[in-house]
Amino acid sequence: MKPERLKIIVTRPIPGELCDEISRNRPELDIVCRPQDAPINGDELIEWINAEKPYGVVITLAEKFPDNIISKLPESVKAISTIAVGKDNIDQNACDNRGIKVFNTPDVLTNATADLTWALILAASRRIVEGHKMCADDKFVGWSPTLLMGKELTGATIGIVGMGRIGSAVAKRAFGFNMKVAYFNRNPIQDISSKFPGIDHSSLPKYMAIDDLCAQSDVITLHCPLNDASFHLLNEARLNSCRHDAALVNMARGPVVDETALIKSLKAGRFMGVGLDVYENEPNINPELKNFDRVTLLPHIGSATIETRWKMMRLSINAILETVNK
Ligand code: DGY
């Protein structure tokens, strides 16, 4: 039955103009945003939602909804929508059992995330942050034929782990660099040519088993969801099988890479560069990662463009609204 007033609560502040825009179209809607732009978890989260008794809850990837939180939500909650494409912070089965619909924000963040992937690929392969540091520290004393030599991307092989929307957008950009594209997915994609219209058959991304992809790629970039199968997909053995001068980028979720093993590998001199946007114990970054000049660290900003974040927020709220009357 349609509630008289429809309440959606948001775990973070969102732009007032966006709330106004949505409320104009749905006058029966009350949007309540938590004023703090910081995660809320555990007892505090349960207490807040129980006090508000909303129909829908808009969350971020930093708020965790395991079974023991879902089971304590008030009956009023019918939908949870995360401002992210990854849903690994929500126990889907627990939501299914409670009849709570779960939404995320695919598509709208694809280009922003693929663009930033390339920023990290270039940083990792062309030593951009090392160069910046040298200049900023007044250590640049003149051009040298051997200064900060990196890795040529043209003609190199990029191995994309997870050929979904973002992986495919990364692949499209790789064609612009004349790279050979390999990919690993849980299953090979049947009609790969339909994802890449206009790409010559011989240049289409080629499926590789994960072990082969790690061993053969010049650039490895991660875009798969985090689940039981992808946890520590890049384990010690696979990291140690990577080319010595490979560039590694993680835009997926931190636990896809065994971070302790990565640090060991880096200490042993492996990798031309590593670019990370995500971490195993986010937002805590293993301090050892900060010791390597060739590791570029970003604070999980894959989708952080003004345009994309607005679209993500709008989509999250609208997804909940669409469930009303269904
Ligand atoms: C996602 O959407 O899952 C991203 O990691 C957020 O930027």
Q: What is the 61 CA–ligand 1 centroid distance (Å)?
A: 7
**Residue 187 to residues 119, 162, 184, 209, 215: CA-CA distances in angstroms?**
28, 10, 8, 10, 19
Structure confidence at residue 4 (pLDDT): 75
Distance (Å, whole) CA 203 – CA 188: 16
Q: Domain of 125: which CATH number?
A: 3.40.50.720
Other CB atoms closer than 10 Å to residue 215's CB: what's the count?
16
Q: What is the 312 CA–ligand 1 centroid distance (Å)?
A: 10
Mean pLDDT confidence for 161-190: 97
Residue 224 lies in a domain: yes
Whole-number percent of the chain with pLDDT over 70? 98
Verify that 280 and 167 share a domain, yes or no: yes
Verify that 292 and 314 share a domain, yes or no: no
Residue 1 lies in a domain: no
Verify that 207 and 157 share a domain, yes or no: yes
Q: What is the 86 CA–ligand 1 centroid distance (Å)?
A: 6
pLDDT tier at 185 (50, 70, 90 boundaries)? very high
Does residue 86 have its Cβ closer than 6 Å to ligand 1? yes
Residue 23 lies in a domain: yes
Structure confidence at residue 153 (pLDDT): 98
**Residue 114 to residues 3, 117, 137, 194: CA-CA distances in angstroms?**
40, 5, 31, 19
> Which residue's C-alpha comes closest to atom 4 of ligand 1?
84
Structure confidence at residue 44 (pLDDT): 98
Verify that 310 and 291 share a domain, yes or no: no
Reply yes or no on whether the pLDDT at 240 is more than 90. Answer: yes
Residue 230 lies in a domain: yes
Residue 225 lies in a domain: yes
Candidate from 12, 61, 83 with most ligand 1 atoms within 8 A of CB, to mutate: 61
Verify that 55 and 174 share a domain, yes or no: no
Q: Answer yes or no: 322 catalytic.
A: no
Structure confidence at residue 1 (pLDDT): 53
Mean pLDDT confidence for 148-170: 98
Kindly state the tokens that stand for 256. 């896809």
Beta bridge partners of 275: 249, 296
Distance (Å, whole) CA 170 – CA 179: 11
Q: Annotated catalytic residue: which of 127, 243, 270, 300?
A: 300
Does residue 162 have its Cβ closer than 6 Å to ligand 1? no
Q: Which amino acid is it at 253?
A: R
Q: Cα dihedral angle (41, 311, 277, 251), rounded to 10 degrees?
A: 110
Verify that 219 and 311 share a domain, yes or no: no
Q: What is the 241 CA–ligand 1 centroid distance (Å)?
A: 28
Residue 221 lies in a domain: yes
Verify that 215 and 114 share a domain, yes or no: yes
Q: Answer yes or no: 4 catalytic.
A: no
CA 86 to ligand 1: nearest atom: 3
Residue 98 lies in a domain: yes
Does residue 109 have its Cβ closer than 6 Å to ligand 1? yes
Mean pLDDT confidence for 143-154: 98
pLDDT tier at 299 (50, 70, 90 boundaries)? very high
Reply yes or no on whether the pLDDT at 3 is more than 80. Answer: no
The residue count for the chain: 326
Q: What is the 85 CA–ligand 1 centroid distance (Å)?
A: 5
What does the pLDDT look like over 34-44, one tens digit per residue? Answer: 999 999 999 99
Does residue 90 have its Cβ closer than 6 Å to ligand 1? no
Task: Give the structural domain span for 211.
Answer: 110-297
pLDDT tier at 230 (50, 70, 90 boundaries)? very high
Verify that 134 and 282 share a domain, yes or no: yes
Verify that 189 and 202 share a domain, yes or no: yes
Verify that 128 and 219 share a domain, yes or no: yes
Instruction: Give the chain as a 3 state SS string.
Output: CCCCCEEEEECCCCCHHHHHHHHHHCCCEEEEECCCCCCCCHHHHHHHHHHHCCCEEEECCCCCECHHHHCCCCCCCCEEEECCCCCCCECHHHHHHHCCEEECCCCCCHHHHHHHHHHHHHHHHHCHHHHHHHHHCCCCCCCCCCCCCCCCCCCCEEEEECCCHHHHHHHHHHHHCCCEEEEECCCCCCCHHHHCCCCCHHHCCEECCHHHHHHHCCEEEECCCCCCCCCCCECHHHHHHCCCCCEEEECCCHHHECHHHHHHHHHCCCCCEEEECCCCECCECCHHHHHCCCEEECCCCCCCCHHHHHHHHHHHHHHHHHHCCC
Whole-number percent of the chain with pLDDT over 90? 94
Average pLDDT of every residue of the chain = 96
> Which residue's C-alpha comes closest to atom 2 of ligand 1?
84
What is the number of domains present in the chain?
Answer: 2
Mean pLDDT confidence for 69-94: 98
Q: What is the 158 CA–ligand 1 centroid distance (Å)?
A: 22
Q: Answer yes or no: 253 catalytic.
A: yes
Other CB atoms closer than 10 Å to residue 141's CB: what's the count?
8
Does residue 84 have its Cβ closer than 6 Å to ligand 1? yes
Verify that 140 and 163 share a domain, yes or no: yes
Q: What does residue 174 show for φ and ψ, rounded to 5 degrees?
A: -65, -30
Verify that 155 and 292 share a domain, yes or no: yes
Residue 326 lies in a domain: no
Q: Annotated catalytic residue: which of 223, 238, 243, 253?
A: 253
Q: Annotated catalytic residue: which of 130, 236, 282, 288?
A: 282
Mean pLDDT confidence for 174-190: 97
Distance (Å, whole) CA 54 – CA 75: 9
CA 251 to ligand 1: nearest atom: 5
